[in-house]
Chain A
Amino acid sequence: EIVMTQSPATLSVSPGERATLSCRASQSLNNNLAWYQQKPGQTPRLLISGASTRATGIPARFSGSGSGTEFTLTISSLQSEDFAVYYCQQYYNWPLTFGQGTKVEIK
């Protein structure tokens, strides 16, 4: 099983600042990584697939990078609606696995 480890667990950021979230895989994924956003009481939403391709309708302030075992989700200038929990997910191999999530909170 590929273990996905996200850091930090909680990130305190002020509106307008940049947020950098990390996701590490226990083995190489090539680019088979997705990122999701989940706001309280809401269903998860796809942000990024293929490590760096934004999903339809996702603002350009969200960007994904990385390959192999190290991946990053960057939110360039946090808006109030971006405070949420973010999950990475690998689809390189079965079983599919998620990271434990990073909560982005208001500083």
Chain B
Amino acid sequence: DQQVKQNSPSLSVQEGRISILNCDYTNSMFDYFLWYKKYPAEGPTFLISISSIKDKNEDGRFTVFLNKSAKHLSLHIVPSQPGDSAVYFCAARPGAQKLVFGQGTRLTINP
């Protein structure tokens, strides 16, 4: 049972444009959502998070949107830069319980 799903395994975006990565979840008990970024041969690094009491959180070029009714969250990166090329994982957890990860989306930023 995949509780967190990233349906796009890959995404290619032109440098300077907006990258939008999507994530869907099924467990209504999830109340905290996170995005991680992973480069090859490195562990995932925390990028941005959002609590279920919010619908938007912004940090520089990165914005996460949460639509609780649709059980959907998205990560917007604008403008996209070549260094943003990586695999992005969304993750969710119910309170202090364990994190559940999606399958990841490989983002490629083209010059």
Query: Is the pairing of A and B real?
Result: no
**Chain B residues engaging chain A, CB cutoff 8 angstroms:** none
